[in-house]
């Protein structure tokens, strides 16, 4: 037996950075950003910490699941950059929640939430756990070159959490990675060793946008086709399709090649931009809180990100 989702939550910083405000910082315009990406606003961290936002999302998910942190058997945080290099962000969250189970991070960039669910699936299948918390959060505003208009308009901060319990909600899941460090990467930054002769690079995101774009469309189509088939379903049976929210044009180009009804796509990129691992759980929590998920509904998810990684899955809503 694998897992079902028992509860969801999400959190994002208060500050809303609009396209208009960005246009005063770099040479861009609301029109360019909206038409090329679908993004209107994004949230950026000012006074909040990654931990506070992760804990807020986790508490919402625990509340809905009706369990306490003490009942968790596993915490996984999907993130590229927690508060510390060590300990893991999952351990920091664990401390704040008062949980006492194994906890560790998974870094698969924007695909991190789906990678974390596949890892959790292994623990459930081996009968090792009854409840798991997955938090997926990235703070991209602290990894962004705010003078580079080709990247800084795309990203935002935020993330979400799910509490998983034993069940048959997970119908199929598929991960890939293709060992590409050229088209999307962020260096670690300054080196501290006086012996190390390498030059530390600025720890900001570098991206060859058009390469990532092509990879994203091809692999979203491939991933969704595969997990829908593995789940024994037709694409028309997917009630809610939650794609990674990187660019509305990527979503539309992939959707044009798939047979999922267009009205079933969950899209919130306009208000959050690309929050990396946070995108899918934020969108999942929004549809859940809006009361749009009915027992038995099939939810498709598909993400792509640095690595280059992809993750796709089909989950049945069992609540």
- Candidate residues 17, 108, 109, 238; the one interacting with ligand ACO per rule CB under 6 A: 109
Q: Specify which residues 11 forms β-bridges with.
A: 159
- Candidate residues 274, 288, 310, 316; the one interacting with ligand ACO per rule CB under 6 A: 274
Q: Catalytic one among 110, 152, 302, 313?
A: 110
CA distance 5 to 11: 18
Instruction: Copy the structure tokens of residue 282.
Output: 């934020």
Interface mask toward ligand ACO for 65-94; x: CB under 6 A: ------------------------------
CA distance 184 to 206: 6
Of all residues in the shown chain, the one whose CB is closest to ligand ACO is 209
CA distance 168 to 232: 14
Cα 103 to chain centroid distance, Å, stands at: 18
Q: Which of 261, 279, 281, 262 has the alpha carbon at shortest distance from 270?
A: 279
CA distance 59 to 65: 10
Q: Is there binding between residue 220 and ligand ACO (CB under 6 A)?
A: no
Going by their DSSP bridges, the two strands 16-18 and 2-11 should be labelled as unpaired
Q: Any catalytic annotation for residue 139?
A: no
Q: Is there binding between residue 246 and ligand ACO (CB under 6 A)?
A: yes
Q: Any catalytic annotation for residue 268?
A: no
Stretch that binds ligand ACO, among 44-52, 211-219, 255-263, 310-318 (CB under 6 A): 211-219
Q: Is there binding between residue 185 and ligand ACO (CB under 6 A)?
A: no
CA distance 162 to 114: 11
Instruction: Copy the structure tokens of residue 162.
Output: 């799910």
- Candidate residues 4, 247, 264, 288; the one interacting with ligand ACO per rule CB under 6 A: 247
Interface mask toward ligand ACO for 276-295; x: CB under 6 A: x-------------------
Q: Is there binding between residue 209 and ligand ACO (CB under 6 A)?
A: yes
Q: Which is nearer to ligand ACO, 49 or 150 (CB)?
A: 150
- Candidate residues 74, 97, 132, 184; the one interacting with ligand ACO per rule CB under 6 A: 184
Q: Any catalytic annotation for residue 198?
A: no
Q: Catalytic one among 91, 274, 302, 313?
A: 274
Q: Is there binding between residue 319 and ligand ACO (CB under 6 A)?
A: no
- Candidate residues 90, 216, 241, 313; the one interacting with ligand ACO per rule CB under 6 A: 216
Helix (H) or strand (E) holding 103: strand 103-106
CA distance 39 to 34: 5
CA distance 238 to 297: 8
Cα torsion 7, 66, 71, 51 to 10°: value is: 50
Residues 9-28 that bind ligand ACO (CB under 6 A): 28
Q: Is there binding between residue 114 and ligand ACO (CB under 6 A)?
A: no
Instruction: Copy the structure tokens of residue 127.
Output: 């009968």
Q: Which is nearer to ligand ACO, 59 or 211 (CB)?
A: 211
CB atoms inside a 10 Å sphere around CB 306: 23
Q: Which is nearer to ligand ACO, 152 or 258 (CB)?
A: 152
| Shortest reach from residue 307's CB to ligand ACO, in Å | 8
Active site residues: 110, 244, 274
């Amino acid at each position: 037996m694998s897992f079902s989702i028992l509860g969801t939550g999400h959190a994002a910083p208060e500050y809303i950075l609009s396209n208009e405000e960005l246009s005063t910082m770099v040479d861009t315009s609301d029109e360019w950003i909206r038409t090329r990406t679908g993004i209107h606003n994004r949230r950026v961290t000012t006074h909040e910490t990654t931990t506070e936002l992760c804990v807020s999302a986790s508490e919402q998910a625990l509340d809905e699941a009706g369990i306490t942190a003490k009942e968790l058997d596993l915490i996984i945080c999907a993130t590229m950059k927690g508060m510390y290099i060590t300990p893991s962000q999952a351990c920091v969250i664990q401390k704040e929640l008062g949980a006492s189970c194994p906890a560790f991070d998974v870094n698969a960039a924007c695909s991190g939430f789906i990678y974390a669910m596949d890892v959790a699936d292994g623990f459930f299948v081996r009968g090792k756990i009854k409840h798991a918390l997955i938090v997926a959060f990235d703070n991209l505003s602290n990894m962004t070159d705010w003078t580079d208009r080709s990247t800084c308009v795309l990203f935002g901060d935020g993330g979400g959490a799910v509490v998983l319990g034993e069940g048959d909600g997970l119908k199929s899941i598929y991960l890939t990675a293709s060992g590409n460090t050229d088209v999307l990467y962020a260096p670690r930054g300054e080196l501290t060793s006086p012996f190390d002769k390498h030059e530390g690079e600025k720890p900001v995101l570098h991206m060859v946008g058009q390469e990532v774009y092509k990879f994203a469309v091809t692999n979203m189509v491939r991933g969704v086709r595969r997990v829908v088939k593995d789940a024994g379903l037709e694409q028309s049976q997917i009630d809610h399709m939650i794609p990674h929210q990187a660019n509305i044009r990527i979503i539309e180009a992939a959707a044009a090649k798939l047979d999922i009804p267009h009205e079933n796509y969950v899209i919130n990129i306009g208000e959050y931009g690309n929050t990396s691992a946070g995108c899918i759980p934020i969108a999942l929590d929004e549809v859940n809180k809006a009361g749009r998920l009915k027992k038995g509904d099939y939810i498709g998810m598909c993400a792509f990100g640095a690595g280059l990684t992809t993750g796709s899955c089909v989950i049945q809503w069992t609540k």
